[in-house]
């Protein structure tokens, strides 16, 4: 839907988010409706909460751009790389302790990224021979 649609990426994001907004509004009103009516919807929001909300929104736009102009594999690699970098940063600022599992995990991700970058997958066309010519099977043999 995202790759072949003719509409703008932002319009597509709005269309895809409408159902989420409906369910989120219903959940919010059913669980905290009285508090929202009394104090407002943004009561208790700090600068950090606003920053995280804007970052999540921008992240969503980036993900939709990757999905539209790249593919699922690149999106997954970007997410995995982000998780690895977040882990490394959390070690540097002292929030996490370096462990063998973390080192092995980040190493595997980095090696797979390098392999994917240097040896990208080739498109597979099931009805094309290795010579690039259309092929047909007759009695189990390639003609």
Does residue 127 contact residue 134 with C-beta atoms inside 8 Å? Answer: yes
Name the more confident of 93 and 135: 93
pLDDT tier at 120, thresholds 50, 70, 90: confident
Does residue 66 contact residue 74 with C-beta atoms inside 8 Å? Answer: yes
Mean pLDDT score, 32-41: 89
What is the helix (H) or strand (E) element at residue 142, kind and residue range? strand 141-142
Mean pLDDT score, 14-24: 86
CA dist 43 and 28 (Å) reads 13
pLDDT in tens, 68-110: 777 777 777 777 878 888 888 888 888 888 889 888 988 888 8
Does residue 9 contact residue 65 with C-beta atoms inside 8 Å? Answer: yes
Q: Give the predicted TM-score (pTM) of the model.
A: 0.50
Spatial CB neighbours of 10, under 8 Å, sequence gap ≥ 6: 61
């Amino acid at each position: 839907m995202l790759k072949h649609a003719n509409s703008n990426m932002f319009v597509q994001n709005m269309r895809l988010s409408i159902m989420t907004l409906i369910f989120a509004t219903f959940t919010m009103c059913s669980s905290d409706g009285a508090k929202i009516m009394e104090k407002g919807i943004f009561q208790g929001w700090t600068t950090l909460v606003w920053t995280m909300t804007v970052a999540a929104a921008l992240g969503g736009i980036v993900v939709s751009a990757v999905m539209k102009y790249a593919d699922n594999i690149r999106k997954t690699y970007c997410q995995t790389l982000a998780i690895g970098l977040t882990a490394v940063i959390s070690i540097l600022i002292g929030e996490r302790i370096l462990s063998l599992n973390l080192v092995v995990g980040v190493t595997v991700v980095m090696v797979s990224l390098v392999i994917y970058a240097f040896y990208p997958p080739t498109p597979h066309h099931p009805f094309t021979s290795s010579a690039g010519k259309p092929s047909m099977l007759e009695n189990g043999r390639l003609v």
